[in-house]
């Protein structure tokens, strides 16, 4: 509770200052609605926000799982074969540099407009880099004693990877997942700005903004924030379940 109080107090203070700033006429309410107006709209639109969050959340979750699986397999291969490892990092950096605003329209044209595949691919590509880079770093930091022990047992490469490298890299893997969980939601929502199905938070935000319904647009933005926070907290919970010794040591 002591750790939660500072961010809660800071958040409440920011909301109060925001409300006063709008009410005192420093900015037009149709440009930046007051938190009270956004809260009222969020209550009125709660069913629509929930449905849109489910659609965006499904795309983010599938992209996160797919991107993570590919990233872990690529990291395992890159840590096993040094030439591949030397090549993979610059290629992964190049993939990470691809902007969503350029990638999403291209993928939308490659697949059917009624398909969610482009959004999930965009999410998977965005997720790939942080998970790959952190996992590869963890896989390379093998304790020399463990390495020598596995050589003594004449362990195969696969046994070495699954029994020593991957368990030892769990901390780095979850560091990458914590970064990727929020990125997955952002990528899924932003990818919806470029056409396709109109069932997600991004599509609802653009639609509300196009009709100058700014409080409604902000209500869906709040839904996107809550969705990203849910993904992050779920990742933290998963990390605690997978690494209970870390909680004990901390």
- Domain assignment present for 3: no
For 125-178, write each residue's pLDDT tens digit.
Answer: 999 989 999 998 888 887 777 777 777 776 777 777 777 778 888 889 999 999
Is residue 249 situated within a structural domain?
no
Q: Is residue 8 part of a domain?
A: no
CATH number for the domain including 171? Answer: 1.10.3720.10
What pLDDT digit, counting tens, does each position of 36-77 carry? 888 998 999 899 999 999 999 999 999 999 999 999 999 888
Mean of pLDDT over the chain: 85
DSSP per residue, the chain: -TTTHHHHHHHHHHHHHHHHHHHTTSS-TTTS--HHHHHHHHHHTHHHHHHHHHHHHHHHHHHHHHHHHHHHHHHHHHHHSHHHHHHHHHHHHHHHTS-HHHHHHHHHHHS-TT-SHHHHHHHHHHHHHHHHHHHHHHHH---HHHHHHHHHTT--HHHHIIIIIHHHTHHHHHHHHHHHHHHHHHHHHHHGGGSS-S-SHHHHHHHHHHTT-HHHHHHHHHHHHHHHHHHHHHHHHHHHHH-HHHHHH-
Measured between alpha carbons, how far is residue 75 from residues 60, 133, 140, 212 in Å?
Answer: 22, 8, 10, 46
Q: How far is CA 169 from the centre of its chain?
A: 20
Determine contact, residues 245/170, Cβ cutoff 8 Å.
no
Which residue segment(s) compose the domain that 168 sits in? 36-241
Flag whether 72 is in a domain: yes
Task: Convert 172-195 to b/e letters by CB count within 10 Å (16 or more is b).
Answer: bbbbbbbbbbbbbbbbbbbbbbbe
Number of domains into which the chain is organized: 1
pLDDT tier, 192 (very low <50, low <70, confident <90, very high otherwise)? confident
pLDDT digits (tens, 9 = 90+) for 226-248: 999 999 999 999 998 888 776 65
Which residues, 6 or more positions from 120, have their beta carbon under 8 angstroms from its beta carbon? Answer: 59, 62, 63, 66, 188
Confidence of residue 113 (pLDDT cuts 50, 70, 90): low
Token pair listed for 180 = 């990727």
Q: What span, in angstroms and rounded, lies between the C-alpha atoms of 126 and 55?
A: 18
């Amino acid at each position: 509770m002591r750790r939660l109080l500072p961010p809660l107090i800071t958040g409440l203070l920011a909301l109060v200052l925001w409300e006063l700033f709008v009410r005192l006429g420093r900015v037009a309410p149709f440009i930046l609605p007051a938190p009270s107006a956004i809260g009222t709209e969020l209550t009125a639109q709660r069913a629509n926000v929930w449905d849109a969050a489910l659609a965006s959340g499904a795309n983010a979750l599938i992209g996160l799982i797919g991107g993570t699986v590919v990233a872990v397999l690529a990291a395992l291969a890159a840590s096993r074969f040094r030439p591949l490892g030397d090549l993979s990092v610059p290629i992964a950096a190049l993939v990470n540099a691809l902007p969503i605003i350029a990638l999403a329209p291209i993928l939308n044209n490659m697949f059917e407009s009624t398909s969610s595949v482009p959004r999930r691919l965009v999410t998977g590509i965005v997720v790939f880099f942080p998970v790959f880079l952190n996992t590869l770093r963890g896989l390379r930091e093998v304790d020399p004693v463990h390495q020598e022990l596995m050589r003594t047992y004449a362990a195969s490469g696969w046994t070495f990877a699954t029994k020593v490298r991957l368990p030892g890299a769990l901390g780095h893997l979850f560091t990458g997942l914590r970064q990727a969980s929020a990125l997955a939601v952002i990528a899924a929502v932003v990818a919806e700005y470029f056409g396709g199905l109109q069932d997600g938070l991004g599509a609802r935000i653009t639609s509300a903004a196009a009709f100058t319904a700014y409080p409604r647009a902000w209500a869906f933005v709040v839904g996107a924030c809550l969705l990203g926070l849910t993904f992050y907290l779920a990742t933290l919970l998963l990390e605690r379940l997978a690494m209970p010794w870390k909680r004990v040591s901390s």
